[in-house]
């Protein structure tokens, strides 16, 4: 559901951005711009209103629940607890890890006493290298998704000249559903193959390598910025040494062109201009453009939009296919990682361990990555808009540097996750029983553990309780 929600959000956003932001207050039939125009601002508020209304009405159903649920004893759980080793389950332990005597009432520990034990329990969990490495690897994987997906719509707009609505719609209908399928397939493979913890970590390593290879291919799938008059090439396509790059030229000095908006036009000379004004055109019919000096005067016309790059359409289709494969394979590592995580801690600490996981995912996986990706993207800007002398938003990027930096950050995070997976595998391979708590049913560990034990020279050193623990 965590992936299905964003998919619906992208699709909803694609429909909202096709509606003008002030459509409620003005007559949109009088607008002279369309959703394909860079000046178009979609109804970004529509999704918030709709989702807020759905949340409000669905929350009303919560009032139908009683104030407290009646106690219920599960015979299956009682029989399972009876089969567990007595040395570790002599006394009940609450989820916060605080031991209490069986005759001691639950309310004996104050809230302050329960809070005092949290640092000790957290230190105990983080001192486990397998637990720490798996959590950090999950944070790196989520960081790639949070940072890469946050600007993927913008990336598609800049690299392949797509509109905002088209980019959001493609993401919601292709990449995110593939990620949902990947999570399902990852869990299915773990179950069907009865993977042990070592098998699960090997699966996570393999999946990470394949998805990283897909990200490497993104370095070669994109379109160049192309010639932009006054930004990447001088006016008149003058390549002489010392030619200054300035959007203002003698051919448009008398036009009083503004840089507060970006309305690119493609000239008959194959060069993109920041606007028809910067091309020195007649504002009514986009003809007689004085800055198009390399074509005859009767052909000095422009059309709205950037000049198309050769081979860009084919590159986009390839990018879309690779993105779907990358989303599918990359998401398959989530289920093995979570399974290893919950099996490296004692049963009474599993709920708290999951809480630590989700806390660190939000602190390390969702907050810093968009800031890092955003700062890197801004460093590739070629031209900033200005409004009343103040710098506004970036309107033109160096697509090649943008692509290399944007993808390289994702590759670096994926590589760091692979190092953490490898460290986890080494820890499990050297001392499997120390880190894996196999008190519960689930993954089969006996076969792989026996393979590891055959490499040891002192099998008689194991205690009877440990042997029965492995056979379970």
**What does the domain layout of the chain look like in residue ranges?**
120-223+311-432, 227-308
Residue 395: C-alpha distances to residues 27, 157, 263, 378, 400 (Å): 28, 11, 9, 10, 15
Radius of gyration of the chain from Cα atoms? 30
Nearest to residue 135, comparing CAs of 361, 330, 339?
A: 361
No. of helices (H) and no. of strands (E), the chain: 17, 5
Q: What is the DSSP string of 304-317?
A: ESPPPPTTHHHHHH
Give Cβ neighbours of residue 442 (< 8 Å, ≥ 6 apart).
339, 343
pTM recorded for the entire structure: 0.72
Domain 120-223+311-432 belongs in CATH node 1.10.390.10? no
Report how far residue 398's alpha carbon sits from residue 231's, in angstroms, rounded to the nearest whole number. 10
Tell me the three state secondary structure of residue 266.
strand
- Walk along the chain (472 residues) and give the pLDDT tens digit of each residue: 555 566 677 677 777 877 888 888 887 777 777 777 666 778 888 888 888 898 899 888 888 887 776 766 555 555 444 444 444 444 444 544 444 444 333 445 566 777 778 888 888 888 888 889 999 999 998 888 888 888 888 888 888 887 777 777 777 777 778 888 888 888 888 888 888 888 888 999 999 999 999 999 999 988 888 888 888 888 876 554 445 677 888 887 777 788 777 788 888 888 888 888 888 887 667 777 888 877 887 778 888 888 888 878 888 888 888 988 988 888 888 888 888 888 888 887 888 888 888 888 888 888 888 899 999 999 999 888 887 778 888 888 999 999 999 999 999 999 999 999 999 998 888 877 777 765 443 444 444 444 444 444 444 434 333 343 333 3
Nearest to residue 361, comparing CAs of 133, 140, 132?
A: 140
Pairing type for strands 302-304 and 265-267 reads antiparallel
Report how far residue 171's alpha carbon sits from residue 345's, in angstroms, rounded to the nearest whole number. 37
Residue 20: C-alpha distances to residues 28, 48, 334 (Å): 7, 15, 39
Report how far residue 256's alpha carbon sits from residue 254's, in angstroms, rounded to the nearest whole number. 6
């Amino acid at each position: 559901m965590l992936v299905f929600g964003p998919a619906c959000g992208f699709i909803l956003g694609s429909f909202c951005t096709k509606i003008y932001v002030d459509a409620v207050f003005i007559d949109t039939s009088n607008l002279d711009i369309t959703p394909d125009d860079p000046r178009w601002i979609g109804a970004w508020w529509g999704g918030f209103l709709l989702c807020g209304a759905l949340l409000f009405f669905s929350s009303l159903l919560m009032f139908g629940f009683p104030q407290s649920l009646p106690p219920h004893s599960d015979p299956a759980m009682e029989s399972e607890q009876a089969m567990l080793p007595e040395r570790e389950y002599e006394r009940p332990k609450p989820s916060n890890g605080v031991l209490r005597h069986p005759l001691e009432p639950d309310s004996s520990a104050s809230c302050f006493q329960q809070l005092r034990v949290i640092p000790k329990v957290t230190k105990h969990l983080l001192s486990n290298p397998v637990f720490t490495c798996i959590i950090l690897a999950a944070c790196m994987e989520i960081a790639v998704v949070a940072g890469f997906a946050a600007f993927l719509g913008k990336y598609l707009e800049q690299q392949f000249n797509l509109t905002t609505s088209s980019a959001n719609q493609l993401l919601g209908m292709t990449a995110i559903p593939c990620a949902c399928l990947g999570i399902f397939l990852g869990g299915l493979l773990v179950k069907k193959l009865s993977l042990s913890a070592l098998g699960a970590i090997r699966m996570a390593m393999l999946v990470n390598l394949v998805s990283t290879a897909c990200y490497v291919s993104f370095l070669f799938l994109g379109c160049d910025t192309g010639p932009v008059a006054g930004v990447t090439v001088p006016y008149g396509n003058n390549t002489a040494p010392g030619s200054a790059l300035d959007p203002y030229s003698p051919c448009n000095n008398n036009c009083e062109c503004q840089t507060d908006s970006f309305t690119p036009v493609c000239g008959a000379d194959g060069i993109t201009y920041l606007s028809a004004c910067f091309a020195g055109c007649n504002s009514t019919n986009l003809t007689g453009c004085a800055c198009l000096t390399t074509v005859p005067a009767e052909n000095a016309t422009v059309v709205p939009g950037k000049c198309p790059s050769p081979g860009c359409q084919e590159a986009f289709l390839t990018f879309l296919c690779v993105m779907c494969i990358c989303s599918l394979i990359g998401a398959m590592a989530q289920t093995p990682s979570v399974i290893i995580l919950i099996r490296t801690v004692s049963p009474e600490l599993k709920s708290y361990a999951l809480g630590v996981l989700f806390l660190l995912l939000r602190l390390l996986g969702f907050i810093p990555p968009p800031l890092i990706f955003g700062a890197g993207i801004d460093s590739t800007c070629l031209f900033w808009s200005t409004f009343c002398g103040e710098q506004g938003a970036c309107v033109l990027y160096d697509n090649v540097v943008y692509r290399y930096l944007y993808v390289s950050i994702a590759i670096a995070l994926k590589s760091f996750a692979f190092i953490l997976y490898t460290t986890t595998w080494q820890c499990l391979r050297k001392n499997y029983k120390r880190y894996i708590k196999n008190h519960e049913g689930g993954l089969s560990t006996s076969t792989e553990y026996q393979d590891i034990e055959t490499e040891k020279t002192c099998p008689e050193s194991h205690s009877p309780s440990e042997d029965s623990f492995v056979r379970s």
